[in-house]
Amino acid sequence: MSWSAKQYVTFEDERTRPARDLLAAIPSGAVRSAIDIGCGPGNSTELLVERFADATVRGLDSSTDMIEAARKRLPQVRFDVADIDTWNDTGPFDVIFANAVLQWVPDHATLLPALVSKLAPGGSLAIQMPDNLNQPSHRLMREVAADGPWAGKLAEVAEQRTEMADASAYYSMLKACCTRVDVWRTTYHHPLAGGASGVVEWFKGSGLRPFLEPLDETERTQFLQQYQAAIAQTYPALADGSVLLPFPRLFLVATR
């Protein structure tokens, strides 16, 4: 699936806030090397550069469009096009930062301990993932996908996102290889201008991408019209015309 840096940064402030909250929970201590995996356009990497001013900070992402945007934003940082699934750098890193990416990478029971093994002793793996697959926004994507002429093309799309484990399963998975594990869940409420169309714009930069990509131009327009109509019924506009979008996210900070 390809990602568009331009569409993603439309809501950059809102999308970067969880990254700030995640970063704030990493225990203080000397950091010489930090890496931002799934760095996107470099918005989360920029936070690492600010906090760990004396460290070597790097970034990686599987999207060439995102890496190009990140290199423009932070020319002093090394960014690589790489897939987390096959990433074989052994580190050691003092911080591995994964904000809003591991929901796209399968088999967390194998992946998370493998990431911890790339940490130096005392290093931290910091993860944030949207916990929204059961929110109406995502249920409606699946319903529109299953209920249109595109149903055949989109039959397997809903499975691209990794099913999340619950907080206690992640805690156990990480506690087996870490000295300290911090887990929490936050629901942000993002006010989006433009009502239902604001919600659609938001998800065009993330969750809708796999549903739209296989469609031709006409199908894409129809899919978005149907999705927006369904969103308008489920997320009514407030008096000022905006919609308050509830967005739950799960956070994990595991220290080796």
**What is the binding site for ligand SAM (CB under 6 A)?**
3, 15, 19, 38-40, 43-44, 61-63, 66, 83-85, 99-101, 104-105, 206
Secondary structure (3-state) at 146: helix
Q: How far is the CB of 48 from ligand SAM (least distance, A)?
A: 10
Q: Which is nearer to ligand SAM, 101 or 181 (CB)?
A: 101
Q: How far is the CB of 144 from ligand SAM (least distance, A)?
A: 21
Pairing of strands 243-255, 180-192: antiparallel
Q: Which is nearer to ligand SAM, 64 or 187 (CB)?
A: 64
Name the DSSP letter for residue 11.
G
Q: Which of 119, 115, 128 is nearest to 29 (CA)?
A: 119
Q: How far is the CB of 216 from ligand SAM (least distance, A)?
A: 23
Edge to edge, what strands does the sheet with 78-81 contain? 78-81, 56-61, 33-37, 93-99, 119-130, 243-255, 180-192
Q: Which is nearer to ligand SAM, 103 or 150 (CB)?
A: 103
Q: How far is the CB of 47 from ligand SAM (least distance, A)?
A: 8
Q: Which is nearer to ligand SAM, 16 or 255 (CB)?
A: 16
Give the residue at shortest CB distance from ligand SAM: 40
Q: How far is the CB of 65 from ligand SAM (least distance, A)?
A: 8
CA–CA gap between residue 111 and residue 128 (Å, rounded):
15
CA–CA gap between residue 140 and residue 224 (Å, rounded):
11
Q: Which is nearer to ligand SAM, 4 or 228 (CB)?
A: 4
Name the DSSP letter for residue 210.
H
CA–CA gap between residue 163 and residue 148 (Å, rounded):
24
